[in-house]
Amino acid sequence: MKSRRRALLVVPLLLSPALAACSDDAGGAEPTRPAEPVDDIAAAAAQCTAVLNERDEAVFRAGQDAGFELLTLSLKDEAPSAAERSELVDAMSAVRDLLQADRDRLADASALDGWEDLLAPLDETIEVLGSRVEGLESGRWPLSKDELSLGAPFASADRDAAEASGLAGRDCEVLAAVAGPAAEAEELVRAASVACGTIVDRRRTSGYDDAATTSLEVVLAVRQGDDLDVTDAMVGDLRALRDEWQATYDDLAAVPADGVADAGIAEAWASDLQLAEDRARLYGERLAALESGERARIDEEFQTTKIGVPGWDWEGVGLQSRDCRSVRA
């Protein structure tokens, strides 16, 4: 199998000093946290994460539900009572004001290409909500199509715009679509979303994908029984994977989860931690096998059955739409 020499920027970007000090035993590393964003993409992503983490979930969901209720009443041509009308106005006004504050906060947060396009769903949602509130406050029924403004509120950003800015799969893509952290796991979700952002940015800037490709190439060679030439570059890539997964585990393990009373959320989070721990161990064993040069040991450690927990359970924690969705398993 032909190997490719890759320039992995693992020293300044992948390994924190604490992690580098113990990379030989791949254990006991302190959680990694960048002192500051590594680049403009990371800085913008951090702003979006902060906005979503501070968002009031109850206000967001109440306003979203009020919008759905208004459309349902309109489709059935059932005029809301005065009390219902007031409740709808209050709920939609509150979420409109919440999103307007978020929009104002993010207006000048980044100069990345496509930034305004990422904020466009906020603009559309604010406009739709304003139109509906104005129609309800007029006292008329039924509301006109323009007053109902059957647009696309609470939507994600255009994928092309997100990719152009380098923020596809990040919190900035879902600024109008995601409520704040659920009350039953508020602290966990806030801390985990920050940890996931750290992981995504570290991997994005360290050559992680190339290193992961090397591991897959070895898996394929083993599966097909091909000759395998173990090179320094190949060993370096597996060491980078081992170190990154140890850092990933350390980042996630540092998230406070003791206060989570919901058994389902606690179980999902435990599964996610187990996945990270399994991967760190897996790549440590694969690295040791390559360093040994023993083909039988390499064949054993690079079996696909060694993978451990198969995938993340972000949905069980309430993180399926956040930066965590971009942490490759």
Digit-coded pLDDT (tens) for 200-259: 999 999 999 999 999 999 999 999 999 999 999 999 999 999 999 999 999 999 999 998
Sequence spans of domains, the chain: 10-38+185-326, 56-179
| Predicted local confidence at residue 3, as pLDDT | 39
Digit-coded pLDDT (tens) for 118-137: 999 999 999 999 999 999 99
Please choose, from the candidates 195, 214, 209, 242, the residue with its C-alpha nearest in 3D space to the C-alpha of residue 15: 242
Please choose, from the candidates 200, 160, 141, 166, the residue with its C-alpha nearest in 3D space to the C-alpha of residue 325: 200
Digit-coded pLDDT (tens) for 5-52: 333 333 333 333 333 333 344 444 444 455 478 899 999 999 999 999
d(CA 192, CA 195): 5
pLDDT at 175 over 60: yes
Please choose, from the candidates 301, 276, 291, the residue with its C-alpha nearest in 3D space to the C-alpha of residue 218: 301
Please choose, from the candidates 9, 45, 8, 18, the residue with its C-alpha nearest in 3D space to the C-alpha of residue 251: 18
pLDDT mean across residues, the chain: 90
With 0-12 / 13-18 / 19 or more C-beta atoms within 10 angstroms meaning exposed / middle / buried, residue 10 is buried
| Predicted local confidence at residue 296, as pLDDT | 97
